[in-house]
Amino acid sequence: MTTPLQDLAKHGQSAWIDYLSRNFVRNGDLAALIDEGVAGVTSNPTIFQAAIAEGDAYDEQLREVFAVHNDPKEVFLALARRDIQDACDLLRPVFDQGDASRDGWVSLEVDPQLADDTQGTIDEATRLYEMIGRPNLFVKIPGTTAGLPAIEETVARGIPVNVTLLFSLRRHREAAEAYLRGLRRLHATGGDLHAVASVASYFVSRVDTEADRRLTEIGGHDDLKGTLAVANAKLAYQTYLELFRGDDWAELEAAGASPQRCLWASTSVKNPEYRDVRYVEELVGAYTVNTMPRDTLEAFQDHGRVADTLERDVDEARDVFDRFAAAGVDYDDVTDTLEREGVAKFAASFRQLFDGVAAKRREMGQG
């Protein structure tokens, strides 16, 4: 009998886990999940902040690093480097299978405080990729206005990119087009297209949280609550199907390129009235990824249902947009707000992470 995660793979969707810590990697938990069907890892500043703050797993290395670095960011990167490399190595057999889904990736985020700095993002992405030194590293770059040219340039340099903090159909299309431009530039210079890849991390549950809040403020329209996020993701998938088909794409694919898969992020349920695995069950489709927090992944393994849902009711998804507009909810303002807040929250987590490193230094009597 197969598990729900294995069933997802049969339907063409890859299950990744949105969690990383030293104990998780070294105590066998990640290896066990890989055996169950987990095929990738994503991380972000909030995840690392929690991992470093808990327990003493990092204390031995911290003593060594504090002797060399005073800058909290460099201390953090020294810690993250080891965890990311170890996770990459555990997932390398998955990566080396080399199938069309291109799994086995581990993601590390560029400092989100650079979200409005194109050149700073390019430089940081290049540094992180060289620092980790693993072919199955995804560098996470936010799909902001400044991030889009950074995505193109980073891909043109042959560096795999996880485009993060995508909320809107417009931004998703722009991120895909930036990836395609980067691939064409890489191809024109004789680069290895097979070595580079990308996913578009499309955030899901936060869309419902913000849209539902606005519906509550307006009053009524309860039948619309909990509908925008899934509709939004379904239409993003239609963009994917449009851009990664046809003669132009076929030429790049023949040269070794892989499409920029949609990755459903923020898939934990924020509203307890909703089914806890709805953002997995309602978004199952071929050549996609769902990265789940550990609790969501365990819930899906326990009682998740798998069916091809992503291409169902696409016309109904378009109708949802019309109904939100009629109700007085401005979709563009919803997604613009979420992008601003997402960048701000990740940047705040990075600052808290650095504060935590400084606190650890004091706690350990290192200055």
CATH number at residue 25: 3.20.20.70
Confirm if 195 and 261 have CB atoms less than 8 A apart: no
Separation CA 10–CA 40 (nearest Å): 16
For residue 366, the model assigns a pLDDT of 64
pTM: 0.94
Among candidate residues 277, 167, 311, the one with its CA nearest the CA of residue 232: 167
Q: Cα dist. 52→58, 59, 128, 358 in Å?
A: 7, 9, 19, 12
Please name the amino acid found at residue 262.
Answer: C
Q: Which residues are tagged catalytic?
A: 140
* Segments of the chain assigned E as strands: 13-18, 38-42, 105-109, 137-142, 161-166, 198-203, 261-265, 288-292
Residue 111 makes CB contacts below 8 A (sequence gap 6+) with 73, 124, 350
Cβ atoms of 290 and 296 within 8 Å: the answer is no
In a structure prediction context, what are the per-residue pLDDT tens digits for the chain, which is 367 residues long? 788 999 999 999 999 999 998 899 999 999 999 999 999 999 877 777 777 777 677 878 888 888 787 788 888 888 889 999 999 999 999 999 876 558 999 999 999 899 999 999 999 999 999 999 999 999 999 999 999 999 999 999 999 999 999 999 999 999 999 999 999 999 999 999 999 999 999 999 999 999 999 999 999 899 999 999 999 999 999 999 999 998 989 999 999 999 999 999 999 999 999 999 999 999 999 999 999 999 999 999 999 999 999 999 999 999 999 999 999 999 999 999 999 999 999 888 888 888 877 777 777 766 5
E strands, 270-314, are 288-292
Residue identified by tokens 């069950």 is: 281
Predicted local distance difference test score (pLDDT) of residue 100: 55
- Residue 37 to residue 29: CA distance in whole angstroms: 13
| Residues 95-121: b if buried by 16+ CB within 10 A, e if exposed | beeeeebbbbbbbbbbbbbbbebbebb
Per-residue DSSP letters for 59-80? HHHHHHHHTT---HHHHHHHHH
The number of distinct structural domains making up the chain is: 1
Domain range for 59? 4-363
Q: Please measure the distance between the N-terminal and C-terminal CA atoms of the chain and give it in whole angstroms.
A: 56
Question: φ, ψ for residue 44 (rounded to 5)?
Answer: -150, 175
Reduce the DSSP state of residue 235 to 3 states and report it. helix
DSSP bridge partners of 5: none
